[in-house]
Structures are given as structure tokens and as C-alpha cells.
Amino acid sequence: MRFASLRRRIRALDRRLREARVLARAFRYPWQPVVAQIIPTRRCNLSCTYCNEYDRVSEPIPLDAMRRRIDRLADLGTGIITLSGGEPLLHPDVAELIRHIRRRGAVATLITNGYLLSPALIERLNASGLDSLQISIDNVLPDEVSKKSLTLLDQKLRWLAWYAAFDVTVNAVLGGMRDPEDVLIIARRARDLGFQCTVGIIHDDRGQLQPLTEQEQGVLRQVAALERPVLSFDRYNRFQDALARAEPYNWRCRAGSRYLYVCEDGLVHYCSQQRGSPGLPLGQYTADDLRREQASIKACAPYCTIGCVHRVAMIDELREAPAETLESWFVHSGSASGMPLPVRALLGVFVTGPTRTLARRAAGRLLGA
Ligand SMILES: C[S@@+](CC[C@H](N)C(=O)[O-])C[C@H]1O[C@@H](n2cnc3c(N)ncnc32)[C@H](O)[C@@H]1O
Ligand code: SF4
Ligand code: SF4
């Protein structure tokens, strides 16, 4: 096994433990933020035609202002803080931002188009304590829609496989590309290198579904059938099945509470596609705001394709009806053997077993929740 791969596995143990703590706190406190995405710069070095989240001119947000935002998110109890953009690697202090997120006890993740990655930068990200990185790759060859292309980024993937001590996920946008089968090639390449792969169904400028073609639906099914770890939220994508068929999906969006989007001006929005709601300064965002948004109904939910907010909402589904939720996930994923043994064991210990109260209390203590 390569040294980086071994190092990645060892660091993954520590990250898994901290993620378990995030989960335990999310179960304990129903309105605390689980994930916050923050924007260190709106600027991007690319211009994907499906994207409304970048410009060509913005300056990086000063380090002190970013540190204050991270501090505020940590004070609100945020478990996972993700740097996005624009292109976050254009920020000159990106490593220090990650270090600060870790210093404040949150899991640190980053979403990038990968263009600026080099062995030296990957080592700096390792040293900063980055927990996981999502690299976006949409097609095999660059075209007018996206230049996040396997042929251009494969060297970056190889460097990541070689040097990264953090977890790597490849995300591909599905919908509106010249050849949807590219997504399958990208997913297989990710898997061959030992990375996770997620698919984001393309959305319009309000986060709403752009219906998929038959061929795109087929690709989504094939990617979903690829092997994934049992204890990974990426594996359970029931929402994507409904949306792929252009059907509404019945769920409760917890944006503004469990998920926060903090723009370059330091304002809290539901998500990248609902900027302006609620649009309040992070410094003045309080527990009352979190509680209000936990309960608020979002009219845009039934056709929303924004995967990260869906996945955060799954924690509350699990919290509110654990046995039913788990069953629905596994029935949906068509697992021939039903619920896998580790999940059945966890269900027995924490939900249905006679010593569940004791087990929950012990786990909560152990994980500091
Ligand atoms: C806005 S980008 C910012 C980070 C970085 N520039 C990148 O491309 O990874 C974050 C993610 O949103 C995805 N994205 C942007 N516009 C989208 C859309 N209309 N539909 C689906 N995903 C989209 C990108 O592909 C990327 O994975
Ligand atoms: S690279 Fe990311 S931020 Fe830049 S245009 Fe593409 S999706 Fe948008
Ligand atoms: S449902 Fe939630 S995540 Fe989706 S667009 Fe609306 S506010 Fe954003």
C-alpha cells in the first residue's frame, strides 16, 4: 500500500470519530448547524455555463473577517465547515482558514475545481488538517459547458492519490452535458483510485430540477449501483431517484438551521440558490433564527436537487424515526440481504434494544455530546 493511502486511512479513523461526534451532537440538539458552507472568494478561474456562483473580479475576503465568521459558526455549534466559492483555492490564506476551522473543533472540508492543485499545495493542505476535499469533474473532454474534464484533471487525481492524507470525493454534474456516459467513466476512475464519487443533478438558478433525459437517468442508476461503504450518507440517494423521474420528493429542507450558506458578505442564506432568504448577518444570527428555520417550510423543496442539504436533512429523518428511515433507505437501495449487519447492530444497540437508553447516554458521553 502506498504511504499516502496508508496515511489517509489512519487519518480517516480520526475524522470518522469526529464525524460521529458531529452526528451525536446533531441527535442531541435538533436545531444546531451540522454543515455550513462559507465563501472565501466569489472569484473563479473557470466559467462553467451552468453555474451562477462565481465572478471574475472579486477580491479574496480578508483573513481576519474569515476567521471571525469561522469563530461565529463554531460558537453556534457547527460541526462541519466547508470552503466553497467561486474557487476557494484562489484564496491566498486557504491553508490558514482550514487550520482555523480545525482549531475551533469543526471538521474541515473544501470544494474545488482542482485546477490549482499541485503536490506542494496538497502537502500544505495535509499540514493544515484538511479532513476532506471534493473535486468537481463533469466530462471527459472539455467543452463549452465545463472545462472540469477528466483529461485535464487526471494528473491532479493521481497527485491526490499519491500525496493526499485527506479524504477525496469526485463530484460530477449530471444533466445538460454533451455525453452523459462520461459521468460513469469519471465515477469508475474515482473508484479505481480509492476515492468516493457523488453525482449532482443539475439545477436551475433557484436550485430546481432540470429534468433528465432517459440516458441520463440510466447513468444515474449505474453510478448508484457502484459499491459504496455502508456507513456513508452518499450511498443513500432516494431523493435523486424521484427527481430523476421528474417526480417531486417529499422531504423537509432544514436550510437556515442544520445547513447554512454564508456568502462573501458574511450573510446567512438558505443555500447557494436561495440567496436573500433569510439574508441575515452571521454575527447577528442567533439560536432563535436557527429554531425558526428548523421549522420553516420551503416551497422550493419538492424539486430541489441540492445534494448536500438533502443529506443533512437525512440526519433529522434518522433522528425522528430511526427504524423506519433505515428500512426505507435499504429497501430503496435494493440491497438483496436487506439491512447490512453493522447497521442492524447499531439499530439494536441504540434504538430497539432493551439497554438503548444506557447505550445512547454512554455514546453521548464518549463523544462529548
Ligand atoms: C459552485 S462550485 C464551487 C467550488 C468549485 N469552484 C467547484 O467547481 O468545485 C460547487 C459545486 O457546485 C456545483 N454546481 C455549480 N452549479 C451547479 C448546477 N447548476 N447544478 C448542479 N451543480 C452545480 C459544481 O459543479 C461544484 O461541484
Ligand atoms: S469552477 Fe466552480 S465556481 Fe467556477 S464556474 Fe465552475 S462550478 Fe462555478
Ligand atoms: S429546498 Fe432548501 S436547499 Fe433546496 S433550494 Fe430550497 S432552500 Fe435551497
Give the pLDDT score at 364.
78
- Nearest-angstrom CA–CA distance, 221 and 149: 22
Range with the lowest mean pLDDT among 24-33, 60-69, 264-273? 24-33
* Residue 113 in contact with ligand 2 by CB distance below 6 A: yes
Least confident of 1-5, 176-180, 257-261, 277-281: 1-5
Residues near 2 by beta carbon (within 8 Å), at least 6 away in sequence: 161, 162
Ligand 2: distance of its center to the CA of 276 in Å? Answer: 20
Most confident of 229-233, 257-261, 322-326: 257-261
- pLDDT score of 335 more than 80: no
Residue 345 lies in a domain: no
Name the band, by pLDDT with cuts 50, 70 and 90, for residue 193.
very high
Q: How many independent structural domains does the chain possess?
A: 1
User: Is a pLDDT exceeding 60 seen at residue 46?
Assistant: yes
> What confidence tens digit (pLDDT) does each residue in 138-171 have?
999 999 999 999 999 999 999 999 999 999 999 9
Q: Is residue 202 part of a domain?
A: yes
Please check whether residue 354 lies inside any domain of the structure.
Answer: no
Averaged pLDDT of the chain:
92
Q: How far, in whole angstroms, is CA 213 from its chain's centroid? A: 25
CA distance 70 to 38: 9
**Is 45 within the bounds of a domain?**
yes
366 in a domain, yes or no? no
Does residue 280 sit within a domain?
yes
Find out whether the beta carbon of 113 lies less than 6 Å from any atom of ligand 1.
Answer: yes
In the beta sheet, which residues pair with residue 134?
Answer: 111, 169
| Residues having CB within 6 Å of any atom of ligand 3 | 207, 253, 255, 270-271, 273-274, 298, 300-301, 304, 306, 309
Ligand nearest to the CA of 111: 1
Q: Which of 54-68, 239-253, 342-356 has the lowest mean pLDDT?
A: 342-356
Q: Please provide the distance, in angstroms rounded to a whole number, between the alpha carbons at the two ends of the chain.
A: 36
What is the DSSP secondary-structure string of 226-258? S---TT-GGG--HHHHHHHTT--------BTTT
Structural domain contains residue 130: yes
In the predicted model, is pLDDT for residue 229 greater than 80?
no
- Cβ of 198 less than 6 Å from ligand 1: no
pLDDT category at 31 given cuts 50, 70, 90 is very high
- Lowest-pLDDT range of 67-76, 182-191, 264-273, 355-364: 355-364
Q: Which domain, by its residues, includes 253?
A: 2-320
Residue 338 pLDDT exceeds 80: no
- Residue 346 pLDDT grade (very low, low, confident, very high; cuts 50, 70, 90): confident
The confidence band for 5, taking pLDDT boundaries of 50, 70 and 90, is confident
Choosing from 37, 39, 44 the residue with most ligand 2 atoms within 8 A of its CB, the one to mutate for a pocket test is 44
Q: Which CATH number is 254's domain given?
A: 3.20.20.70
Mean pLDDT of the 281-296 span: 97
Measured in degrees and rounded to the nearest 5, phi and psi for residue 172 equal: -115, 135
User: How remote is the CA of residue 362 from the centroid of ligand 3, in Å?
Assistant: 35
Does the pLDDT value for residue 70 go beyond 90? yes
Q: In what order do the strands lie in the sheet with 259-262?
A: 196-201, 167-174, 132-136, 107-112, 80-83, 35-38, 259-262, 267-269, 278-281
pLDDT, position 357: 83
- pLDDT one-digit tens code per residue, 79-133: 999 999 999 999 999 999 999 999 999 999 999 999 999 999 999 999 999 999 9
The pTM (predicted TM-score) of the whole model is 0.93
Residue 273 lies in a domain: yes
Q: What is the pLDDT of residues 235-270, one digit of tens each?
A: 667 899 899 999 999 999 999 999 999 999 999 999
Identify the pLDDT of residue 134: 98
